[in-house]
Amino acid sequence: MRSENNTVDRTKRFILWFDEIGMKDVPLVGGKNASLGEMTQQLKSRKIEIPTGFAITTAAYRRFVESNNLQKRIESILEGLDTNDHSNVASRGEDLRKLFLNGEFPLDLKIEISSAYKVLSRNLETKNPQVAVRSSATAEDLEGASFAGQHESILNVMGELSLMKAVKQCFASLFTNRAISYRTDKGFGQMGISLSVGVQQMVRSDLSCSGVMFTIDTESGFDKVIYITASYGVGELIVQGGVSPDQFYVHKELLGNTENPVIEKVLGDKLHKMIYSGKRAELIEVPVPIKERKRYVISDEEATQLAVWALEIEKHYGKAMDIEWAKDGLSGELYIVQARPETVFAIKKEKVYETYILEEKSKILVRGGAVGSKIGQGTVNVLESAIQISDFKKGQVLVTDRTDPDWEPIMKKASAIVTNRGGRTCHAAIVSRELGIPAIVGTVDGTEVLRSGMKVTVDTSEGVGNVYDGLLKFRIEKVNLEEIPETRTKIMMNVAMPENVFFHAQIPNDGVGLSRLEFIIASHIGIHPMALIDYAELSKKAGHGDSEIARIIEAIDERSEGYEDKTRFFVDKLSLGISKIASAFYPKDVIVRLSDFKTNEYAALIGGELYEPKESNPMIGWRGASRYYDEKFRAAFELECQALRTVREQKGLKNVKVMIPFCRTPEEGKKVIEIMKASGLEQGKDGLEIYVMCEIPSNVILADEYSKVFDGFSIGSNDLTQLVLGLDRDSELVSHLYDERNLAVKRMIKNVIEVAKSNGRKIGICGQAPSDFPEFAEFLTECGIDSISLNPDTIVKTRLLVAEKEKALRK
């Protein structure tokens, strides 16, 4: 849709259509419009949908300034500017904006804008089409400086008069208080910036949904995933932090190679949405019906489509990107409405890995979504409005309902930020990442629970945001990743929960030696699997007046809301938890241990008391392999198999290996493997390996026989120690005798390593001992073990230790 007047020098033209511009034209059309033009020119052929439109250029802005004699008046108002004084910035900003809002368009500029709008009307075959009018500054959407929310966007503009008014509002927004302050902080001059305005076909997301996506994990910088947020209505609420959106993670390497590359999804509350209302089509905020809140805004297929587009955009630009998308409620089509470089990890060049470790705990006051992976602390200051900037002192913890760009002068002084509302792509999250301070968003009641004057510690280091009472001790460990040596012995990782794996996967490692299913079941599901299988029967009992069963049904319904098939809830949650872990380390091996709850632990799950016997010593009772083939539990075990099959087949994560715990005899192992085969998990098919935990003396004594059944062993030093020494590791009375370094335990371990290797079987260790005792890791290296799996915080130091030991053994 190129301009008819192509004879004029393009640097002097007032209108340039998107298909005429690209990233080289930032000085003419600003960062936002240049990117829209770049995608229109270069990516439309790849079937990425970009709404059509045109840019009102920086030449037009300068023409407006010139015709209204604004330049000297702007310089005069800015003279003596003090961005540390909020009232100083506010008064000057208001005066500057009035200059533009009270200005008049020169006739030549007015005619060109009017003509372009008419051409757009003809091409869209609509009289007075709805358009989005967006500011696009020449120093906007650059690496290291996003200018997120600094300038105005006016949506759903209709008619020439409304368009002219919106353009002036955009011009004026070059001098919002927040933009003035932000430019100073980022080292940009106040007078060297110009502004372009984009006029873009309006996508009716008010009738459907919209969101933001990043081609990188926004918290860890992990670059193998695409992170997508989605909420109903116009996207402003997501950015403002007014809503907690749905979240999706899609694995890049699985795109196009597997049935469903979505590796994680989290249902947001989506309490409100923004829609257009009335004859003037003004944006208003309305509640979302509860049925809509309880379902995902977009399907897995739509999330995958968006991810495909995001990956194409990232490849084209050659860098991580921050992308806005929208779905038109009239056509049902998805669109990309904006793309800019990701601004946080783009400027992190150092090869140093920082780990924040909280050394003590206290009462958790509030909890929410973690932004970043740091720890901050200080005195709480609860503020209702950004006008209260003078009440905020440097180093305090900012607590508020939500933030917008007006809050930035306060935010840059904070040691941490806590908000009631918002998700990981809201304004508070974006700015706190850029500032490098921890934030917790979506706490719901943070401003009620936390009070000004309280001393708190804000912890986002564990993937969940916790505000602890008091100033707790913590430390920061720094590792130069370029100094980590390679070792013959594989140094693997023990992973408990999916939440923090994107951080952990960036520590030099050789895969996951132990991922425990029971951790995912307890945290993400929380319901006994047999209660889900028997849900219909239990519901009948509840309907017949059994109050205890009714209580259980109510708890199940609350946990599994949105699922009519309750077993599907179990399989979905479990498979997604495994998928996130497996994808973070892909294509390295991830050894997933089947559930190893003891009867008392299973009984603690919702409905568990209906199915679990009371045992005097659950530690050596009905656990591990003995449950899987028992008719009282087999159906539950088959759900685990379904989840693993989903991960390997639908997600394509064939790096997942399976491990059977507490297998007392080789015959038990054979029974379990047969059930797995009947459930679609056939040993050897598509590279599926099945290992056994070596944690019972019989596993060592009969290692030759176990080698005929399994592909490998993983030594569980915790249980092996208690069973070799004949003590209960949970008993304080004999705890002084519990020591994995005991000679009897070490001889058992040395023996099984020798037997496994003589039979050509893999053998590693996933117990706690090498994480706790450096000398134990040296002992394992001497024995020639294939792999050592460790807690994340001990991986680097153990790798260094093992490298030195291997070097000494070679001499």
Catalytic residue set? 427, 766
Report in angstroms the alpha-carbon separations of 526 from 258, 498, 561, 623, 685: 29, 15, 13, 18, 32
For residue 790, give the nearest of 782, 462, 688, 781 by alpha carbon.
Answer: 781
What is the distance of C-alpha 796 from the center of its chain?
25
Q: Using alpha carbons, list the distances in angstroms from residue 447 to 375, 398, 612, 807.
A: 20, 10, 42, 56
Identity of residue 771: S
User: What's the CA gap between 716 and 744, in Å, rounded?
Assistant: 15
In whole angstroms, give the CA distance from residue 238 to residue 235.
6
Tokens of 546: 């059994």
Look up residue 333 and give its DSSP letter: -
Burial class (CB in 10 A: 0-12, 13-18, 19+), 266: middle
Q: Please name the residue that has the structure tokens 């023996």.
A: 751
Which positions ≥6 away from 699 have C-beta within 8 Å?
663, 692, 693, 706, 713, 720, 752
Contact, 556 vs 565, CB < 8 A? no
Give φ, ψ of 664 to 5 degrees.
Answer: -75, -30
In DSSP terms, which residues pair with 592 in a beta bridge?
A: 515, 658
Contact criterion met (CB below 8 Å) for 720 and 694 = yes
Give the whole-angstrom CA distance, residue 343 versus residue 320.
Answer: 9
CA 775 to chain centroid, in Å, comes to: 37
Two tokens at 666?
Answer: 């080789």
Read off the tokens for 168.
């002036």
Residue type, 678: A
Quote the DSSP letter at residue 288.
P
Decide: residue 544, CB within 10 A, 0-12 exposed, 13-18 middle, 19+ buried.
exposed
The pair of three-digit structure tokens given for residue 637, joined into one six-digit string = 């075990």
Give the C-alpha separation, 23 to 15, whole Å. 16
Quickly list H helices, 596-665: 599-603, 625-628, 634-645
Cβ–Cβ < 8 Å for 254, 583: yes
Separation between Cα atoms, residue 757 and residue 550, nearest integer Å: 54
**Phi, psi (degrees; rounded to nearest 5) at 411:** -60, -35
Separation CA 156–CA 133 (nearest Å): 8
Backbone φ and ψ for 102, nearest 5 degrees, come out as: -90, -5
Structure-block tokens of residue 72? 């000297």
CA distance 769 to 302: 46
- Indicate the DSSP class of residue 282: E
Are the beta carbons of 531 and 611 closer than 8 angstroms?
yes
Query: Is 644:656 a contact under the CB 8 Å cutoff?
Result: yes
Q: How far apart are CA 383 and CA 400, in angstroms?
A: 5
Going by DSSP bridges, is the β-strand pair 690-694/656-660 parallel, antiparallel, or unpaired?
parallel
Nearest-CA neighbor of 399 among 422, 418, 386? 418
Nearest Cα residue to 360 out of 439, 446, 463, 469: 469
Q: 447-471 burial by CB neighbour count: b if 16+ within 10 A, else e?
A: bebbeeebebbbbbbbbbbbbbeee
